[in-house]
Each structure stands twice: as structure tokens, then as C-alpha cells.
A = this chain, B = another copy of it.
Amino acid sequence: MTDVIRDTIDRILTRVNAIGAGGPGFTRPSYSPLETEAHGVIEEEAGALGLGVTRDAGSNLFARLPGRDRSAPPLYIGSHLDTVPMGGAYDGVAGVAAAMALVAHFVERGETPPCDIVATVTRAEESVWFPVSYIGSRAALSRLTAEEMEARRADTGRTLADHMREEGGDPDRVLAGPGLPAATFLELHIEQGPLLDTAHEPFALIEGVRGGLRYRFAAIEGVWAHSGGAPRHLRSDAVFALADMISALDRDWAEMLEAGHDLAVTVGRVDAATDEHAFAKVPGRVGFCLDMRSIDPAVLDEMDRRLGRIVSRIEEARGVTFRLGPSSRSTPSALSKTLADRLEEAAGPLGFSPRRMVSGGGHDAAAFAAAGWTSGMVFIRNWDGSHNPDEGMDPADLADAVRCVAAAWADAQARPA
């Protein structure tokens, strides 16, 4: 017996991942010919299903399956096809494959959903290329700014407007609007974390997307000294000061979690490895990044206050100077509880009881939520991390999640009495 959901998922994963710059892993830059070529695969697949395909001014792609009530707000379901450099086989494309599998399911059964279902392929979700968040979805919503259109791509140095134009978009029309009217957006995406895999659960429903507070260009300045000659009480050791900071933040992090708050703290980059650093020198400088995330903006505010106190205490104790540099913030986004409830209700009879959790990473769903849409996400269990060539996912888990979405959008009026 063929399984159109699983077959569609497998075929689209294979076809899209055949497109990319040389390995290791998968590289499809935002607004690149490679991303456009991947969008072309979805256009073909939609054509084979007999769906009408449109592109908006941001060159996002929409494949529409008409519903019973054409005036009801549609269900937009999808994700993106760009990747980070040397990224994985699932971040983005899994959600697009799921959307196509959902519409294929309805088409194969000759079933009409209660509202239009629009398989949606956004552009430029990975902010590593342009320093702008959720570019494609915000283009669809006409929420990009003229300044953001001038952002330059990390590899080419050319502007977003230029690249968008080259890939069939129209920056002026994006800015002029209007964007899509509010409807429902649903995104299936790999978890990018080990929680579901560790708990042996195939998928989960997402309550919100964490906001972030980031110091990307922080440094500590101490005093260079000879490792044999400088006594402990006369040192201003930048690396020991950083260890103090990390230990203090780690204690606060544990305390916040114990108090029931949501928080993640990461020091992803530490640089005391320049030509100036040597094994026999007390380090006079260390550069680092600090990334704190929470679903609750008040928790980020509180951690920022604590960071300030920690920094003052260490500066005093160690005779060093912290240069935290500019901080950037992203606002946490609550996702739709109604949407999650609807999916949970459909999942039960299929034998699933997905947990609710929050997303640590940013996703297009956050952009739709910010624009007032009913927006939701389903996380698919994955392993070996994300944004790397080893990123793992079982397509069977994705197919199970799609079956729940299909059940949640089955037309009640079409069901046998």
C-alpha cells in the first residue's frame, strides 16, 4: 500500500537536498539561485498535484488547495529552503515537505478541507546571510523596512534588495504592501535540541518562541603579565575573570530554572587565542559572546540586571574591565494555544499525546505571530544537533505529525455520520 504522506516527504527531501553548493552538508544561501532552484522543485510538485502556484513580491511561493469555504481565513503551512553554510538535511526543508505531504494527502483522497490550505515556501529565514530576521515571511507580511533592504549578504557584500530582485522579487512592492491579511500559519520544524529524542517522543506542540538578549562582541580587558612572574594578588587575568562570570551566570541560571522560569545561557565563542596569547602569559584580553534566551522578557531583564552586578563584582575583585559592547534583543513570541489545542485533540485518537514546549531558536512562525496571525509550530524529534551536516531526523516522525495536522483539518461536514 502506498503512503502518499511518507512518499511525498521522502521525495521532496531527496529532490531539494540534491540542490546546493559543495559539501560537507547542505548550503543554499538566502536569495540565491540555489534557493530559487529549490523553490522550483516545489512549483513542479504542486503542478503535479494540480494546484495553482503564486509568488509574492518577496518571491515567496504559495501553492493553494481550495477549501470548502473559500472566504474562510486559509491555513498557510510551510517553512523555508535556505540553509546555513554547511547546514543539515532537515532545517527548513522538512517543514516544506510536510506542507506538500498534507496537500497531497487531501488531493489523493479527493477530500476538500474546510478552508484553503496554502503550502508556503518562505525565503531567507537563516539570518547568517543577511543580518535581518525572518526576511521572507516579513516580506509576505510587508513588515520589512527600507533600511533592512540595504542589508548586505555576508558572502557577496551585495544588498538584500539586489539579491531579492535577482531571484524574481520586487523590493519596492514589498515595501509598498499591503502584506497578506491575517490568517493561520503552521510550521513543522525539527526541534534542533535533544529533548524529544532523549524523552523518546516523536513530536511536540510549541507554545512560543524564546526571545533573546545577546552580547555578540563582548570582551574583558586585564593586564598582560609573565605567567611565572606575576603573583596572584597582582594579576588582572582576563580569562580567570571570564570563568568567574560564567560560573556566576551558571548559578543564576540553575536558580531561575528551579524557580520555574524558562532560560538558556550560552557562551558560544571565547577568543583568547590570538597571536598575543601564549601559554606563558597571563592573558590581558579575552573576547566572548553571550546569548541568553527566554520565553519571558522579564527573565531576560532580570538576567541583564544580574549580569551587571556580576560584572561590577568581578571588575572590583580582579582589576579587569568588561567591555560588553552593544546588546541586541529579540522579543519572545507567544504562539496560538487554540491552534495547539486543535492539534492535540486530533493527535489523541491517532495515539499521540505531544508535550507542549517552547522553541529556543527563532522561526518564521514568530514573524506571523508578531503580525497578529494565529500562528503555531510542531517540533519533530531530531538528533546530532542542527545547523551541521549530521543533523538527524526520522521522516516517519514527520509523517506522523502530518497525519495529525490532516486529522485536525479534516472537514467535519465531510466525515461519515
Contact = CB atoms under 8 A, between A and B. Distances in A.
Contacts of A228: 192-193, 210, 212, 264, 293, 359-362
A225 B264 CA distance: 12
A293 B227 contact: yes
Interface in A158-216: 191-195, 198, 210, 212, 214, 216
A276 B223 CA distance: 29
Nearest to A85: B275
Interface string A372-397: 00000000000001111000000000
A385 B284 CA distance: 11
Contacts of A268: 227, 239, 272, 277-283
A1 B387 CA distance: 76
A197 to B, nearest CB: 9
A227 B360 contact: yes
A37 interface: no
B270 A270 contact: yes
Interface stretch (A12-20, A45-53, A133-141, A244-252): A244-252
Nearest to A231: B195
Interface in A250-284: 250, 253-254, 257, 264, 266-273, 277-283
Given A247-B247, A270-B286, A286-B270, A193 B231 contact: yes
A25 to B, nearest CB: 12
B267 A287 contact: no
A291 interface: yes
A397 B235 CA distance: 23
A254 B318 CA distance: 14
Contacts of A286: 270
B273 A279 contact: no
Most buried by B among A191, A195, A230, A286: A230
Given A277-B268, A385-B226, A239 B232 contact: no
B239 A246 contact: yes
A216 B267 contact: no
A266 B257 CA distance: 33
A204 to B, nearest CB: 12
A407 interface: no
A246 B246 CA distance: 11
A378 to B, nearest CB: 15
A240 interface: yes
Interface in A215-241: 216, 223-232, 234, 237, 239-240
